[in-house]
Amino acid sequence: MIADRGIQHDEPPIFERGAPGRSGASLPACDVPRVSAAELFGPLARKSAAALPEVSEPEAFRHFVRLSQLNYCIDTQMYPLGSCTMKYNPKINEWAARQPELAGLHPLTPDALAQGSLEVMWRLMRMLCEITGLDECALSPAAGAQGELTGLMVIRAYHRAQGRSPRKVLIPESAHGTNPATCTLCGLEAVKIPKSDDGLVHPDEVRRAIEREQPGDICALMITNPNTLGLFETHLPEICKLVHDAGGLVYGDGANTNAIMGKVRPGDLGMDVVHINLHKTFTTPHGGGGPGAGPICFVKKLAPFQPVPVLVREGESFRFDYERPQSLGRVRAFQGNFGMFIRAYTYIREMGGEGLSRASSLAVLNARYLWSQLKDSFDVASDRPCMHEVVLSDETLEKTTGVKTLDVAKRLLDHGFHAPTVYFPLVVKGALMIEPTETETRQTLDEFAAAMKSIAAEAKTDPERVKTAPHLTRVGRLDEARAARKPRLRWTSGQ
């Protein structure tokens, strides 16, 4: 499928539309004495009028609708961004989150007047504990990375309470970049566990890594399951035991829970703390820096160190508890992103246990379907059956045609698809990471696979066409480094 080519509008900044004196409003004649800005605001008055756009109502309206149409989003097409779980956000979540009693609730409302909302949060916490197989939950971290930081701070506080300060955090080479970043931010030291040939973490490697450190200096292992190659870590119970025997705790990066909900629980595998990305697994919208939620679930012995406030149930009522002397403190204003909790709660209630388990089955099935469709046209990072995402490599493609992963990603835009994640994980040469999720149909997957295969074929017959893509989008290939390093975020006249 080639991208739709209906009428597309170039849209300049609104400041470049309109004309002096044009207005989108018709107000009645002024029937009170006019007052100047200087009289009204004194020294705070502007020296000259603000340079605001002067546009008619249709101009203003069309401007913003056209801008909205420039946006590629999950509501318009598949979004195969690997590691991000860009699944469809059910609209019933939005309905629930917009209920005035919930959306209008002030975060400083006394607990006694917000019992219903507190109960929803408490129920969500219990659901997440059930899904992860862990004892307690803290909802407030605002994203996966903040969940990681909170979890590692909880682990650090636990060790300190035992009178120890171990510093080393074992992190497999295939970890998400936020794992070593979190470790460094926490003032701890990341120790790399090298990637094995089959893409999994092996107990022998963990044992060797532990033995290389001073006895008693292992703070934790941070491990992602399924890992960033889309593979299920099959040795977890043994690995967790090794870490525990060395005095460390196991942090599970649960951002990929979409592959395992209702199938296996991190707590049952031996993990002590896990974060979950509600904005991935539990369908709260994400992307573009919007509000996320990265709650953590953990074993009971870590409960005294969790962030405040702690939501507790007393009989039939709920309240926030601030009296936690060993708590690491607050990690987020108020109680976290409440609107995200409502959406996730709605989704889990709508799906039920069976539904969540089926969603995971379908997420894995869809990824394996793409794996089987693409493995003859591209190198695959692993011969093992993948879980929820497929990782390709451009090794042979580049050698034989000169076409790289970035070129494939750009050419996909001409076929009407958002590009998958590129060059991650770092351990795969020219990685292209595709996560279809369970919400895509067989037809869409076939269209996507056909687009990928046609790009692989085109790379052989007309590599230049692929290397200079995109050709059908509103703008061509951008200088992405410049866009990131020198962004122009403000309009100034005469630019």
Q: Is 394 in the site for ligand PLP (CB under 6 A)?
A: no
Distances in Å between the Cα of 29 and the Cα atoms of 8, 26, 52, 101, 214 are 40, 9, 22, 39, 82
Judged on CB neighbours under 10 Å (0-12, 13-18, 19+), 123 is: middle
Distances in Å between the Cα of 139 and the Cα atoms of 93, 135, 217, 335 are 18, 13, 30, 8
Q: How many CB atoms lie within 10 A of CB 76?
A: 12
Q: Is 93 in the site for ligand PLP (CB under 6 A)?
A: no
294 versus 416: smaller Cβ distance to ligand PLP: 294
3-state helix, strand, coil in the chain (%, to 5): 40, 10, 50
Q: Which residue is nearest to ligand PLP, using beta carbons? A: 144
Give the range of 114-122, 143-151, 215-223, 442-450 binding ligand PLP by CB under 6 A. 143-151
Helical ranges in 162-304 per DSSP H: 178-185, 203-212, 236-245, 266-269, 278-281
Please, how many CA atoms are within 13 Å of residue 404, restricted to the half-sphere of its CB?
6
How far apart are the C-alpha atoms of 445 and 365, rounded to whole Å? 11
Contact (Cβ atoms closer than 8 angstroms) between residue 278 and residue 284: yes
Q: Is 253 in the site for ligand PLP (CB under 6 A)?
A: yes
DSSP conformation class of 54: -
Report the DSSP pairing between strands 379-380 and 218-224. Answer: unpaired
3 versus 427: smaller Cβ distance to ligand PLP: 427
Burial 126-150 (b: 16+ CB within 10 A, else e): ebbbbbbbbebbbbbbbbbbbbbbb
Q: Is 178 in the site for ligand PLP (CB under 6 A)?
A: yes
Contact (Cβ atoms closer than 8 angstroms) between residue 80 and residue 432: no
153 versus 210: smaller Cβ distance to ligand PLP: 153
The single residue among 55, 74, 84, 370 that binds ligand PLP, judged by CB under 6 A, is: 84
Q: Is 83 in the site for ligand PLP (CB under 6 A)?
A: yes
83 versus 93: smaller Cβ distance to ligand PLP: 83
Give the range of 21-29, 137-145, 312-320, 447-455 binding ligand PLP by CB under 6 A. 137-145
Kindly give, in sequence order, each residue whose CB lies less than 8 Å from that of residue 134, ignoring residues fewer than 6 positions away.
265, 266, 267, 271, 273, 274, 297, 298, 299
Contact (Cβ atoms closer than 8 angstroms) between residue 155 and residue 220: yes
Q: Scanning residues 215 to 234, which ones bind ligand PLP (CB under 6 A)?
A: 224
Give the range of 65-73, 200-208, 252-260, 466-474 binding ligand PLP by CB under 6 A. 252-260
253 versus 447: smaller Cβ distance to ligand PLP: 253
Q: Is 277 in the site for ligand PLP (CB under 6 A)?
A: yes
Q: Is 145 in the site for ligand PLP (CB under 6 A)?
A: yes
Q: Is 252 in the site for ligand PLP (CB under 6 A)?
A: no
* x/- letters, 316..345, toward ligand PLP (CB under 6 A): ------------------------------
The single residue among 80, 166, 226, 292 that binds ligand PLP, judged by CB under 6 A, is: 292
63 versus 176: smaller Cβ distance to ligand PLP: 176
The single residue among 156, 176, 195, 332 that binds ligand PLP, judged by CB under 6 A, is: 176
The single residue among 129, 200, 255, 419 that binds ligand PLP, judged by CB under 6 A, is: 255
Q: How far is the CB of 159 from ligand PLP (least distance, A)?
A: 23
The single residue among 132, 150, 174, 256 that binds ligand PLP, judged by CB under 6 A, is: 256
Look at the block and give the residue holding tokens 């119970």: 237
Q: Is 132 in the site for ligand PLP (CB under 6 A)?
A: no
285 versus 294: smaller Cβ distance to ligand PLP: 294
Q: At what angle do helices 144-161 and 178-185 cross, to 10 degrees?
A: 40
Q: Is 199 in the site for ligand PLP (CB under 6 A)?
A: no
How far apart are the C-alpha atoms of 39 and 391, rounded to whole Å? 66
Distances in Å between the Cα of 332 and the Cα atoms of 83, 139, 251, 347 are 24, 10, 21, 24
Number of chain positions touching ligand PLP (CB under 6 A): 14
277 versus 360: smaller Cβ distance to ligand PLP: 277
Give the range of 104-112, 141-149, 195-203, 385-393 binding ligand PLP by CB under 6 A. 141-149
Q: How far is the CB of 175 from ligand PLP (least distance, A)?
A: 8
Q: How far is the CB of 236 from ligand PLP (least distance, A)?
A: 16
Kindly give, in sequence order, each residue whose CB lies less than 8 Å from that of residue 61, ignoring residues fewer than 6 positions away.
none
Q: Is 150 in the site for ligand PLP (CB under 6 A)?
A: no
Cα-Cα-Cα-Cα dihedral of 38, 39, 44, 48, to 10°? -20
How far apart are the C-alpha atoms of 309 and 329, rounded to whole Å? 8
Q: Is 294 in the site for ligand PLP (CB under 6 A)?
A: yes
Q: How far is the CB of 458 from ligand PLP (least distance, A)?
A: 30
Question: 203 by DSSP, 3-state: which?
Answer: helix
Task: Return residues touching ligand PLP (CB under 6 A).
Answer: 83-84, 143-145, 176, 178, 224, 253, 255-256, 277, 292, 294
